[in-house]
Structure 1
Amino acid sequence: MPTATAKQRGPYAKTAALQSRILETCIELFGQTGFHNLTMKEVAQRAGISHTGLLHHFANKDELLSGVLKLRDQKRKEFFLERGVDVLTVPASTAAIKAMLKTVAANDLQPGLIELHSTLSTEATSPDHPAHDYYRQRYASSIGLYTRAFAALAERGELKSDIAPEDLAAMFVALTDGLQIQWLYDRDTERIKRHVRLFLRSFIPGID
């Protein structure tokens, strides 16, 4: 006879799996149509559930967007951790910093995630967009992380540039974002990596 824990785990697991399916569907839909042009009925149809069923899990588009952004952050964190990189901490060694910077080139090289980022980050420049604060903080966090990384290399004599670390960091984020958009038109992964390496080599000697 199933235990009380088993009974609870079954419905909970099914609910979590359905919510995950809905959010995965929304990654693609938000990337294709943006936030404002997407309707809850379209989400329900693509996820293969009723409109009422969708509202049972997500009351509105704001809740869907919040869930999608959390899922994107989770996927990004897992991507880096699989490669030995903590996205919140500057690595201790020069070699590890260089590895982190190169890893960024391949980050999110999945059409759905890049389309999601490219579409929503553009929409969210409007202060009244529900993802405005998320992207403002995300860019500030990314630039802050790379600023600390470039500053650490400068302290070790591994940064050969007259450009301040914070300016290099802003340029690096702009480069990787721009290259990912270009990748949506021509999915040449090696070209993206090559361009990032060429940029880094221009001021970090010895990076391969």
Structure 2
Amino acid sequence: MAMETFAARGYGKASLAEIADRAGLTQAGVLHYFHSKANLLTEVLDLRDATDIADLGPERPRGLAFLRHLVDTARRNAEREGIVRLYAVLSAESVTDDHPAQSYFRNRYAGLRDLVAEALTEACARGETSEDLDVRGAAGAIVAVMDGLQVQWLLDPGAVDMAASTDGVIEALLASMRKG
């Protein structure tokens, strides 16, 4: 209930009254469990991450297999509009002063870039791709493409195939690395 409300209205316009009503609770009941609207938001974001981590399995794929996982994630996201909307809305809002999810998204983006950079470094070490690579720059570009595709897809789902576009960008990046 909270996830859908935050996704539809953003943090600032989402009301505890609406969230409580959708959950069949009173506002006091919601606050009893979460103590504040900001804590509720953090719990919703943590739940989203826990779901994605559970989908990954006991150990993350290594090297190029992790990049394939990103394509699979884009494919799954095309079936999870609410989660994609939540992430897109709240990540954009988090750049504003004093947003309660700002540190969450700052840490999330840093962690995602680290994971992609580590996978690219592994791919280089395994001989899966060229070692002549700015892995930090490539990682940031891949994360940016995926997030940009999500926004475009939310605005016009029929115009964007997130999985195919993510795959195409990763393949083009890998091809350019192989030429170097």
Q: 1:189 to 1:107 in 2, by over 3 A?
A: farther
> Contact 1:158–1:204 (CA<8 Å) still a contact in 2?
no
The aligned counterpart of 2:103 is 133
1:105 and 2:70 correspond: no
Contact persistence 1:31–1:119 (CA under 8 A)? yes
Q: Percent identity?
A: 31
The structure with more helix, counted as a fraction of residues: 2
Matched, 1:148 2:118: yes
Matches within 5 A, 1:73-84: 73-81=49-57
Specify the alignment match of 1:183 in structure 2. 153
- CA separation of 1:61/1:96 partners in 2, compared to 1, >3 Å: closer, same or farther? same
- Matched letter for residue 37 of structure 1: K
Deviation at 1:40, TM superposition (A): 1.3
Counterpart code for 2:21: Q
Q: Which residue pairs with 1:67 in the alignment?
A: 43
Q: Radius of gyration: which is bigger? A: 1
Deviation string 1:52-87 (CA, Å, 9 cap, x unpaired) is 332332322012112111111111112222xx762x
Relative distance call for 1:119 and 1:154 in structure 2 (3 A) is: same
TM-score, scaled to structure 1: 0.74
- The answer to whether structure 1 residue 117 and structure 2 residue 93 are counterparts is no
Q: Which runs of 5+ in 2 are unaligned?
A: 176-180
Q: Secondary structure at the match of 2:174?
A: coil
Show the counterpart of 2:26.
50
- One-letter amino acid of the counterpart of residue 63, structure 1: N
- CA-to-aligned-CA distance 1:151-205 (integer Å, 9 cap, x gap): 2222334335865111110000000011111221333598211111111221335
Please tell me the residue identity of whatever aligns with 2:54: E
Moved more, 182-191 or 29-38: 182-191
User: Which residue pairs with 2:173 in the alignment?
Assistant: 203
Aligned partners of 1:55, 1:134: CA distance in 2, in Å?
A: 21
* More divergent stretch after superposition (36-45 vs 166-175): 36-45
Q: How high is the TM-score relative to the length of structure 2?
A: 0.84
Question: Cα RMSD between the aligned structures?
Answer: 2.4
Deviations 1:67-111 (A, max 9, x none): 111111111112222xx762xxx62xx563343343232254411
